A and B are shown apart, each in its own frame.
Chain A
Amino acid sequence: MKQFVSFVKKEFHHILRDKRTLFILLGMPIVQILIFGFALTNEVKNSQIAIFDQSNDVATQALRSELNASRYFDVVKDIHSYPEIEAAFKRGTIKLAVVFPENFANDLDHFNTAQVQLIADASDPNVANTLTNYATAIILDYQDRITNSRRLPYTINTEMRMLYNPQLKGAYSFVPGVMAMVLMLVCTLMTAITIVREKELGTMEIMLVSPMQPFKIVVAKAVPYLLLSIVNITSILLLSVFVLDVPVNGSLLLLILESILFTLTCLAFGLLISTKTDSQQTAMFIALTGMFLPTIMLSGFMFPIENMPLPLRVISNIVPAKWYYYIVKEVMIKGLGITAVWKETLILVGMLLFLLVLSIRNFKIRLA
């Protein structure tokens, strides 16, 4: 036991003395949460639009101020001809152009119908889609108000409720994603590297010719990173609750326990990598391609898994982050308990055991 404690102490010395790495390890989650929270977001806000108003009447004026008042749009430009629209798009100054034909209000009043054209920059199809949807919604809203007096014979009213995330905030989905990513990075990458480093430096050679059991060496290496991960989980949760207003709806204890389970799975994976590689570069490369990329692409955090072709959907099942991401969403955002995530938890436990057994069996008690 004294051996073990001494080894863990030594590992902490390594980590604490490498100030740069420590800074990255502890700073990374904070920076990521802040970047995802404030800079990188797929919510559309304050898009610059132009209006080509050939009618310039009561109705178009009203619509224009409605558009401008919404938080999605900023009217930055008035346009007076079609070629100007094209030019503005090419310059990239606007994302959407709204064209009112002549006699807009007149047509609306007398023929009960009028047309408005929305031209969007579809070089980014998602944004173009979102923008035209928002604009259409605002225009329909205006139409509803003016037809209120004149009752239509049949109407169907759609009533929408966005559950768990009524404000449709992106933070609700990326906080779990960032948690998965950070834990993965710290645990898998760092454990793999730290063990391989001992091989590279030759200290593993001495450690092997010592009474310390190889298994203890490995566990002792993992302990500091487990603690570091708990610090990271705490800082991510604090930031998301107090800075991004993402609440922890479910049990905090369950959330932390699940995070520790995921951390252990990542540690076991890092361990497995370290048993198979002899240089830090290889270890880093394998950890990044084998764990980091799948975590980003196949966990459902960036791209919805449901939309993927079957082979990718099948592969996504072996990515631990997919299950962890799901669990965090259920527990943190939906506020569900263990009854809702026991299956996913079992899968993670299974993965942990599998990786652990595999890496212990692969751990070399000799040099070759």
Chain B
Amino acid sequence: MASVVANNLTKQYGKKKDLVQALKGVSFEVEKGELFGIIGPDGAGKTSLFRILTTLLLPDGGAASVDGLDVVKDFKAIRQRVGYMPGRFSLYQDLTIEENLEFFATIFNTTIQENYDLIKDIYSQIEPFKDRRAGKLSGGMKQKLALSCALIHKPSVLFLDEPTTGVDAVSRKEFWEMLRSLKEQGITILVSTPYMDEASLCDRVALIQNGTILSVNTPDGVIASYKHPLVAVKDDNMLQLLNLLQQYEGGLDAYPFGEYHHVVLKDGYTTASVTTYLQEQQLDHVNVHSIRADIEDCFIALMKTESHEHK
């Protein structure tokens, strides 16, 4: 049975004049024990979606269930069994690490000892500082504490709303390792993030933009669905190069990507045709090579098609 089901969810804010359609019919299913990523830029509707699933908001249309329980009707039962970590650090800043954890354990009718195994890997890293107040912790430590608090009652489904936003690269990596090990324990995890590179760490991902889900697939599936040839191009004057590439008749799209520009080619065009084109433009020593699309290229392509369809 699917652990989380969203069926055509809609949500809007505001009155007639400045009406914002945050979710425009979102549907997906998350299997039990899956690590499911919801990926999209700021304002895509991720937080609204999470709040509906955690019973904090009522959807305007559609239905959703968590563990087979309806998010509107059975909100009390859902609140007993899910773990939720909001986007903002939301623990008591004037309580110490240990007090926070103890408090949340009691609120969820359990004790730290009872579920210590579950949080051991995470909590042991911050345990040496357990008498320090939560407000005085570093970003990474706060996040570990928040995760410990969300886990202390052994939730069946864990909702993490942008847990890695504003966290340094090392802590982000550590955090994802923690999620993988939690998954081993059979907890269903829904995690949202604006960072596309994190998508490959999920079992399956849903790409969301402007309140619409563009695709739900495994990271490999997303990459496999990418059909166009792709080349990476590099030169000394990157800005001029980008302008030229965007005017290229054989290109569908050109965008900066790290130290390279990525150019999506129409079928039939190759690395050689790009080199020829650039030579015609008096650029002789440009580094052009064919590459395999990664997940970010796929999302950029998906987003482009989506916004074209809207226009």
Q: Interface residues, chain A, CB within 8 Å of chain B?
A: 2-3, 6-7, 10, 13-14, 17-18, 201-203, 205-212, 365-368
Which chain B residues (81-113) contact chain A, with CB distance < 8 Å?
82, 84, 86, 88-95, 99, 102-104, 106-109
**Selected contact of A13 from candidates B84, B90, B91, B94, CB within 8 Å:** B94
The yes or no answer to B193 lying at the interface (CB within 8 A) is no
A15 nearest CB neighbor, chain B only: B94
Is the Cβ of B90 less than 8 Å from the Cβ of A3? no
Is the Cβ of A211 less than 8 Å from the Cβ of B92? no
A203 nearest CB neighbor, chain B only: B90
Is the Cβ of A3 less than 8 Å from the Cβ of B56? no
**Selected contact of B90 from candidates A7, A10, A205, A367, CB within 8 Å:** A205
Is the Cβ of A367 less than 8 Å from the Cβ of B51? yes
Is the Cβ of A10 less than 8 Å from the Cβ of B84? no
A14 nearest CB neighbor, chain B only: B94
Which A residues lie within 8 Å of B244 (CB)?
A: none
**Selected contact of B56 from candidates A201, A203, A367, CB within 8 Å:** A367
Is the Cβ of B90 less than 8 Å from the Cβ of A18? no
Which B residues lie within 8 Å of A212 (CB)?
A: 107
CA distance A14 to B92 in the complex (A): 9
CA distance A202 to B85 in the complex (A): 10
Is the Cβ of A205 less than 8 Å from the Cβ of B107? no
The yes or no answer to B55 lying at the interface (CB within 8 A) is yes
Is the Cβ of B93 less than 8 Å from the Cβ of A201? yes
Is the Cβ of B94 less than 8 Å from the Cβ of A3? no
Q: Interface residues, chain B, CB within 8 Å of chain A?
A: 51, 54-58, 75, 79-80, 82, 84, 86, 88-95, 99, 102-104, 106-109, 149-150
Can you list 16 A-B contacts (CB < 8 A)?
A: A2-B109, A6-B106, A6-B107, A10-B92, A13-B92, A13-B94, A13-B99, A14-B94, A201-B90, A202-B90, A206-B86, A206-B104, A208-B79, A209-B54, A209-B82, A209-B84
Known: A209-B79, A210-B79. A3 touches B86 (CB 8 A): no
Is the Cβ of A211 less than 8 Å from the Cβ of B109? yes
A366 nearest CB neighbor, chain B only: B56
Q: How far is the CB of B44 from chain A (nearest CB, A)?
A: 19
Q: In the complex, given contacts A10-B99, A13-B92, A210-B104, what are 7 additional A-B residue pairs having Cβ atoms less than 8 angstroms apart?
A: A6-B107, A205-B84, A206-B86, A211-B79, A211-B107, A211-B109, A366-B55
Is the Cβ of A205 less than 8 Å from the Cβ of B56? yes
Is the Cβ of B107 less than 8 Å from the Cβ of A7? yes
Q: How far is the CB of A211 from chain B (nearest CB, A)?
A: 5
CA distance A91 to B58 in the complex (A): 70
Which A residues lie within 8 Å of B150 (CB)?
A: 206
Is the Cβ of B109 less than 8 Å from the Cβ of A202? no
Which B residues lie within 8 Å of A206 (CB)?
A: 84, 86, 90-91, 104, 149-150
Q: How far is the CB of A328 from chain B (nearest CB, A)?
A: 35
B106 nearest CB neighbor, chain A only: A6
Q: How far is the CB of A242 from chain B (nearest CB, A)?
A: 36
B161 nearest CB neighbor, chain A only: A205
Is the Cβ of B94 less than 8 Å from the Cβ of A210? no
CA distance A18 to B86 in the complex (A): 25
CA distance A17 to B93 in the complex (A): 11
**Selected contact of B55 from candidates A2, A13, A209, CB within 8 Å:** A209
Is the Cβ of A210 less than 8 Å from the Cβ of B90? no
Which A residues lie within 8 Å of B95 (CB)?
A: 10, 13-14
Which A residues lie within 8 Å of B86 (CB)?
A: 202, 205-206
Q: How far is the CB of B184 from chain A (nearest CB, A)?
A: 24
Is the Cβ of A210 less than 8 Å from the Cβ of B55? no
CA distance A39 to B86 in the complex (A): 52
Which A residues lie within 8 Å of B56 (CB)?
A: 205, 208-209, 366-367
CA distance A212 to B103 in the complex (A): 12
Is the Cβ of A3 less than 8 Å from the Cβ of B84? no
Q: How far is the CB of B64 from chain A (nearest CB, A)?
A: 14
Which A residues lie within 8 Å of B103 (CB)?
A: 6-7, 10
Which B residues lie within 8 Å of A365 (CB)?
A: 75
Which B residues lie within 8 Å of A210 (CB)?
A: 79, 104, 107-108
B92 nearest CB neighbor, chain A only: A203
Which A residues lie within 8 Å of B54 (CB)?
A: 209
Which B residues lie within 8 Å of A208 (CB)?
A: 55-56, 79
Which A residues lie within 8 Å of B88 (CB)?
A: 202
Q: How far is the CB of A9 from chain B (nearest CB, A)?
A: 8
CA distance A3 to B79 in the complex (A): 15
Known: A3-B106, A208-B79, A211-B80. A366 touches B90 (CB 8 A): no
Q: How far is the CB of B132 from chain A (nearest CB, A)?
A: 13
**Selected contact of B107 from candidates A3, A367, A368, CB within 8 Å:** A3
CA distance A202 to B165 in the complex (A): 16
Is the Cβ of B108 less than 8 Å from the Cβ of A211? yes
CA distance A207 to B86 in the complex (A): 11
Q: Which 8 A-B pairs have the closest CB atoms?
A: A202-B90, A6-B106, A209-B84, A367-B56, A202-B88, A211-B80, A17-B94, A209-B54
Which A residues lie within 8 Å of B107 (CB)?
A: 3, 6-7, 207, 210-212
Q: How far is the CB of A221 from chain B (nearest CB, A)?
A: 13
B58 nearest CB neighbor, chain A only: A366
Is the Cβ of A203 less than 8 Å from the Cβ of B58? no
Is the Cβ of B94 less than 8 Å from the Cβ of A18? yes
CA distance A111 to B246 in the complex (A): 118
Which A residues lie within 8 Å of B93 (CB)?
A: 201
CA distance A268 to B187 in the complex (A): 41
Is the Cβ of A367 less than 8 Å from the Cβ of B109? no
